[in-house]
Amino acid sequence: MRRPSRNIEVFSISVIDLLASALGAFILISIILFPFYNQHQQLQKTKTDIKVAADETKKASDMKKKHQEIVFKQLEDIKQGAKAADGMELCKKQESACKAQLGKTFLIVGIEWDERCDVDFYIVDPRGQKFYHAAKNDSFTTFPNSKGQLSLDMTDGPGLEIWQNPEAESGLYKISYELFSCRPGVEAAKIRGWVIDRSGGRRCLVDRNMKIATSGARTHEDVTMLEVNTDGSTTIQFVSACPSS
């Protein structure tokens, strides 16, 4: 009888050992790594869920904030409407007083010049009261019934003079300039005037080029008439385009 081959037996045992080792390694990996893999998957899912929840919370917060803004605006509109209604009711009850108040407007008239000259500014109100350097009414004693005053008076250029009245009465205001004197070598001045009120904003008067008289006497010129209307608006006889600043 022939002896069986040992090579076949060795090969069979090696294959079995290899399979057993592979199975053991797989089982070992499954036992050790699979729980960590499952934990990682669960962690990723938890992170995703948290992000989704945070996004939804932010959206809800933004929506709530937007709704609050809308509600606040509506409440403010209601308040403003109530104030307007109260104001209208007050005006109806005190119609004459309201009309008188509307007939008064905040009014500022000013002049400016660049030359080394002394320019004087005159304004006569509807009552015939003349405001100028000798009657500024700065302490409201010259014209006690008026709140108008020559609040700024300069005697040399570059210069600026301003008359203002927070409650200018309706009627005509006469505006005029006087070139009183100039420094040696200066014979003329270009005077720029402007008006500011609540209805028309800032409007410029026509520039005036005034010269010292050959006799050396002062030069006086009427410039324009300004009317404060009963509704508080103003009308100016001569206006010019204001230069861009």
The domain ranges of the chain are: 1-93, 105-236
pLDDT tens, residue by residue, 79-93: 665 666 666 666 666
Bridge partner list, 234: 228
At residue 232 the predicted structure's pLDDT band, cuts being 50, 70 and 90, is confident
CB 195 within 8 A of CB 202: yes
- Please identify, in words, the CATH class of the domain defined by 105-236: mainly beta
Alpha helices by DSSP H, the chain: 6-93, 95-102
Residue with tokens 């500024």: 136
Cβ atoms 191, 111 nearer than 8 A:
yes
- 108: which strand partners? 164, 196
The pTM (predicted TM-score) of the whole model is 0.57
Which of 62-71, 188-197, 198-207 is the least confident region?
A: 62-71
CB atoms within 10 A of CB 155: 13
Q: How confident is the model at residue 213 (pLDDT cuts 50, 70, 90)?
A: confident
Segment 121-134, tens digit of pLDDT: 999 999 999 999 99
